[in-house]
């Protein structure tokens, strides 16, 4: 699925619940490709009869130097007024618009990862990877090691196990 926006349908395992005040951290893989400065999210309810309020969202970075990019983690705080999310009630969080900038170099199809900090008495933390279609942005190759057919681009690289296949 070519990524022009990112729509995340949230649901829980049977017997679990996402509710107001819970913190959801979305890790944008590959981490070094993203440069999100601002996070704006729209909430789309599962049905028009349900309540789904836009969550508070901000971007942060897991890295400092040498990577000087912006955010690669999005944090969402689920708001009051949102119908609790269960394995039957599944709201969709949509990221798009001028503040949702795709990595300029693209990325291969990959899963995203999410971490949930629950506000219940036990303060549980859960981690999961996305399921379904794999988002991607076409990769732009600026340089490369591809050579015309028949040449061996790594023949002189003694440290490279690919070059040691011939004896």
Beta-bridge partners for 59: 74
Beta-bridge partners for 6: 95
| CATH code (residue 87) | 2.60.40
Strand runs (DSSP E) across 28-163, as ranges?
Answer: 41-44, 56-60, 73-77, 92-95, 113-117, 125-129
Q: Which DSSP state fits 54?
A: P
Of the two residues 136 and 39, the one the predictor is more confident about is 39
Sign of CA dihedral 128, 134, 135, 136: positive
Mean predicted lDDT score pLDDT of the chain: 76
Domain that holds residue 44: 1-138
Query: Is the pLDDT reported for residue 104 higher than 80?
Result: no
Read off φ and ψ for residue 109, nearest 5 degrees: -55, 130
**Is 167 part of any domain?**
no
Quote the pLDDT of residue 121: 56
Peptide bond into 113 cis (omega under 30): no
Q: How many domains does the chain have?
A: 1
d(Cα 106, Cα 8) in Å, to the nearest integer?
A: 20
Quote the pLDDT of residue 2: 45
Mean pLDDT, residues 39-68 taken together: 81
Of the two residues 93 and 144, the one the predictor is more confident about is 93
**Is 27 part of any domain?**
yes
What tens digit of pLDDT does each residue of 24-34 get?
898 888 887 88
**Is 165 part of any domain?**
no
Of the two residues 158 and 47, the one the predictor is more confident about is 47
**Is 149 part of any domain?**
no
Contact by Cβ (8 Å): 95, 10: no
Query: Is the pLDDT reported for residue 1 higher than 50?
Result: no
Q: How many residues does the chain have?
A: 167
Quote the pLDDT of residue 158: 63
Mean pLDDT, residues 4-18 taken together: 81
Contact by Cβ (8 Å): 48, 3: no
Residue with tokens 């990595």: 103
Q: Does pTM surpass 0.85?
A: no
What tens digit of pLDDT does each residue of 109-162 get?
888 888 888 776 566 677 777 777 777 777 766 555 544 455 565 566 666 555
What tens digit of pLDDT does each residue of 54-76 get?
888 888 888 765 666 678 888 88
d(Cα 126, Cα 132) in Å, to the nearest integer?
A: 19
Two tokens at 140? 């732009």
Taking the C-alpha atoms of 52, 6, 2 and 30 in order, what is their torsion angle to the nearest 10 degrees? -150
**Is 101 part of any domain?**
yes
**Is 163 part of any domain?**
no
Read off φ and ψ for residue 165, nearest 5 degrees: -75, -20
Quote the pLDDT of residue 167: 47
Quote the pLDDT of residue 160: 55
């Amino acid at each position: 699925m070519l990524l022009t926006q990112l729509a995340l349908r949230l649901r829980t395992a049977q017997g679990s619940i996402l509710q107001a005040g819970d913190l959801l951290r979305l890790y944008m893989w590959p981490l070094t490709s993203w440069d999100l400065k601002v996070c704006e999210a729209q909430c789309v309810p599962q049905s028009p009869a349900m309540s789904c309020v836009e969550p508070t969202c901000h971007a942060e970075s897991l890295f400092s130097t040498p990577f000087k990019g912006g955010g690669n983690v999005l944090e969402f705080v689920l708001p009051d007024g949102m119908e609790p999310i269960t394995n039957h009630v599944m709201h969709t969080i949509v990221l798009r618009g001028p503040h949702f900038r795709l990595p300029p170099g693209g990325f291969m199809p990959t899963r995203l990862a999410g971490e949930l900090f629950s506000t219940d008495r036990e303060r549980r933390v859960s981690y999961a990877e996305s399921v379904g279609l794999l988002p991607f942005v076409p990769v732009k190759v600026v340089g490369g090691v591809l050579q015309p057919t028949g040449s061996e681009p790594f023949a002189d690289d003694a440290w490279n196990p690919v070059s040691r296949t011939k004896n």
